[in-house]
């Protein structure tokens, strides 16, 4: 591992283009994406005529683009236009955290954008297993058929906060290449942040997208990745290195990149670099938002869960999901997505009409319930002892 890192650090810096884009006006976004692509070498470097390219937007859940949960259709269309101009054959898709891909794409405005350009939705409901002997942690993945059927991937991450990984960007986005409920299984198996992050890094190393275009025109701060607040950042980022891209996104959010575990493990395991970056285009400093609402506490948000002591510590120290009963509509989404058995969040007395209740001794702190709650009724809070340690 150390050797891989040393080799990477002897490489030329990873280029990340940062381009001003003040709003989702179609012409402006097409121009900004085009400028970003030129700054890192031109679209022809990445895609050849007639290649089957999968566009992979963030389609976490079906919400309108203005909520900043999903990649904006204007960014999707702009990238698609550049790729079509190069003669690529496009498909698109993602496996949402909740809901069917076609329904999420429709609500997020992505299917209308795709239909306008004649881009079909790829199959993200079924999958096949592939082996990955080079994986540091995971040697085998089950991936959506739509992923396996393409020649290359262009990823379109959205700049957002995340309770577990702090940032959901260019590495985390690929969790959606694992179809349906299998994602929950990974959460249950990779129950601490280090293992979960290494799994994401392995997954991205296997997929090797050719190009990343990040939608940071309007990002999400606060209680992301679903229930946060839209925050205009006025930028499009373009790169071939997902770790470098996420590190630049951290800089814009005034967040130490070493607090995002996929950055640290991404560099350690040879996916990319957060330390050896060349930014091109507009000045990154001009996009920095110092009061961007993101978890800046030091220390990991979860620890190793294996020993008894660790379990005790987990309950006293590690941030945990908490339900605001006044906001909760009793929809049951949190119960459905909780990946552990028996459930760590469940209705205890549904007839009485109460909200679900967490059983923290079972909870692995994957934060899927917080991620998927449609009412912003779940937040992640740090217990008092944890607050002292994480200061
Ligand atoms: S997902 Fe949110 S609104 Fe639905 S039951 Fe759980 S806490 Fe309540
Ligand atoms: S209760 Fe929430 S955080 Fe805990 S294991 Fe279930 S989904 Fe994950």
Residue whose C-alpha is closest to residue 214's, from 233, 201, 230: 233
Q: Is the Cα dihedral 315, 316, 322, 326 positive or negative?
A: positive
pLDDT value for 313: 65
Cβ(161)–Cβ(168) below 8 Å:
yes
Whether residues 223 and 364 share a domain: the answer is no
310 CB-contact burial (10 Å; exposed 0-12 / middle 13-18 / buried 19+): middle
Per-residue pLDDT of 11-64, as tens digits, reads 799 999 999 999 999 999 999 999 999 999 999 999 999 999 999 999 999 999
Whether residues 283 and 323 share a domain: the answer is no
* Ligand 1 neighbour 184 (Cβ under 6 A): no
Confidence of residue 120 (pLDDT cuts 50, 70, 90): very high
CA 322 – CA 217 distance, rounded (Å) = 30
Q: DSSP per residue over 273-315, as a string?
A: -SSSEEEEES-GGGG--TT------SS-SS----SHHHHHHHH
* Ligand 2 neighbour 182 (Cβ under 6 A): no
Let me know if residue 302 belongs to a domain.
Answer: no
Mean pLDDT, all residues of the chain = 91
Q: 248 is in which domain, residue-wise?
A: 2-287
Average pLDDT (303-312) is 56
CATH number at residue 18: 3.40.50.11440
* pTM (predicted TM-score): 0.89
**Distance from the alpha carbon of residue 366 to the mean position of ligand 1, in angstroms:** 16
Whether residues 316 and 379 share a domain: the answer is yes
Domain end among 256, 287, 318: 287
* Ligand 1 neighbour 338 (Cβ under 6 A): no
Q: Which of 334, 358, 363, 371 to mutate to test the pocket of ligand 1 (most atoms within 8 A of CB)?
A: 334
Whether residues 260 and 365 share a domain: the answer is no
* Ligand 2 neighbour 345 (Cβ under 6 A): yes
Residue located nearest, by CA, to atom 7 of ligand 2 = 338
Let me know if residue 337 belongs to a domain.
Answer: yes
Let me know if residue 294 belongs to a domain.
Answer: no
* Ligand 1 neighbour 329 (Cβ under 6 A): yes
Whether residues 276 and 371 share a domain: the answer is no
Cβ(88)–Cβ(50) below 8 Å:
yes
* Ligand 2 neighbour 243 (Cβ under 6 A): no
More confident residue, 3 or 170: 170
Whether residues 126 and 265 share a domain: the answer is yes
Let me know if residue 10 belongs to a domain.
Answer: yes
Whether residues 242 and 155 share a domain: the answer is yes
CA 47 – CA 10 distance, rounded (Å) = 27
More confident residue, 334 or 191: 334
Let me know if residue 102 belongs to a domain.
Answer: yes
Average pLDDT (373-382) is 93
70-93: buried (b, 16+ CB within 10 Å) or exposed (e) per residue?
Answer: bbbbbbbbbbbbbbbebebebbbb
Average pLDDT (325-345) is 95
Whether residues 64 and 157 share a domain: the answer is yes
Let me know if residue 86 belongs to a domain.
Answer: yes
Whether residues 68 and 130 share a domain: the answer is yes
Q: Is the pLDDT of residue 135 over 70?
A: yes
CA 323 – CA 316 distance, rounded (Å) = 18
SS3 224: coil
CB neighbours (10 Å) of residue 44?
12
SS3 178: coil
CATH number at residue 375: 3.30.70.20
252-291: buried (b, 16+ CB within 10 Å) or exposed (e) per residue?
Answer: bbebebebbbbbbbbbbbbbbbbbbbebebbebeebebee
* Ligand 1 neighbour 377 (Cβ under 6 A): yes
Q: Find the distance separating the first CA and the last CA of the chain, reported in whole Å.
A: 31
Which atom from ligand 1 is nearest to the alpha carbon of 324? 7
* Ligand 1 neighbour 332 (Cβ under 6 A): yes
**Distance from the alpha carbon of residue 250 to the mean position of ligand 2, in angstroms:** 26
Let me know if residue 76 belongs to a domain.
Answer: yes
Q: Which residues, in sequence order, are bridge partners of residue 121?
A: 92
Contacts with 147 (C-beta within 8 Å, 6 or more apart), sequence order: 54, 56, 122, 124, 153, 177, 207
Total domains in the chain come to 2
Let me know if residue 265 belongs to a domain.
Answer: yes
């Amino acid at each position: 591992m150390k050797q891989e890192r040393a080799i990477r650090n002897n490489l030329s810096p990873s280029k990340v283009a940062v381009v001003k884009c003040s709003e989702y006006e179609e012409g402006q976004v097409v121009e900004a994406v085009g400028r970003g692509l030129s700054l890192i070498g031109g679209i022809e470097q990445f895609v050849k005529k007639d290649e089957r390219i999968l566009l992979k937007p963030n389609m976490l859940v079906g919400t309108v683009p203005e909520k900043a949960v999903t990649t904006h259709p204007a960014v999707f269309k702009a990238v698609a236009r550049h790729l079509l101009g190069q003669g690529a054959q496009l498909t698109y898709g993602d496996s949402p955290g909740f809901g069917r891909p076609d329904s999420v794409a429709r609500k997020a405005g992505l299917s209308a954008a795709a239909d306008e350009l004649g881009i079909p939705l790829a199959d993200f409901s079924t999958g096949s297993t592939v082996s990955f002997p080079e994986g540091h942690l995971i040697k085998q993945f089950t991936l959506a058929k739509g992923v396996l059927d393409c020649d290359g991937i262009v990823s379109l991450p959205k700049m957002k906060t995340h309770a577990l990984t702090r940032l959901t960007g260019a590495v985390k986005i690929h969790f959606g290449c694992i179809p349906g409920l299998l994602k929950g299984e990974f959460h249950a198996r990779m129950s601490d942040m280090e293992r979960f992050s290494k799994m994401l890094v392995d997954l991205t190393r296997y997929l090797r997208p050719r190009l990343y275009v990040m939608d940071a025109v309007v990002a999400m701060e606060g209680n992301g990745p679903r229930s946060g607040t839209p925050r205009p950042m006025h930028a499009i980022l373009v790169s071939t290195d997902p770790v470098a891209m996420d590190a630049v996104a951290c800089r814009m959010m005034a967040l130490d990149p070493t607090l995002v575990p996929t950055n640290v493990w991404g560099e350690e395991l040879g996916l990319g670099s957060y330390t050896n970056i060349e930014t091109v285009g507009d000045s990154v400093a001009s996009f920095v938002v110092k009061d961007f609402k993101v978890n800046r506490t030091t220390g990991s948000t979860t620890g190793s869960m294996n020993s008894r002591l660790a379990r005790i510590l987990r309950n006293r120290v590690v941030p945990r999901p908490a339900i605001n009963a006044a906001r909760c509509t009793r929809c049951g989404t949190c119960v459905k997505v909780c990946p552990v058995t028996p459930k760590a969040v469940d209705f205890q007395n549904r007839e009485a009409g109460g909200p679900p209740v967490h059983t923290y001794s079972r909870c692995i702190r994957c934060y899927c319930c917080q991620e998927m709650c449609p009412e912003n009724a779940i937040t992640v809070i740090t217990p008092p002892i944890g607050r002292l340690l994480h200061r």
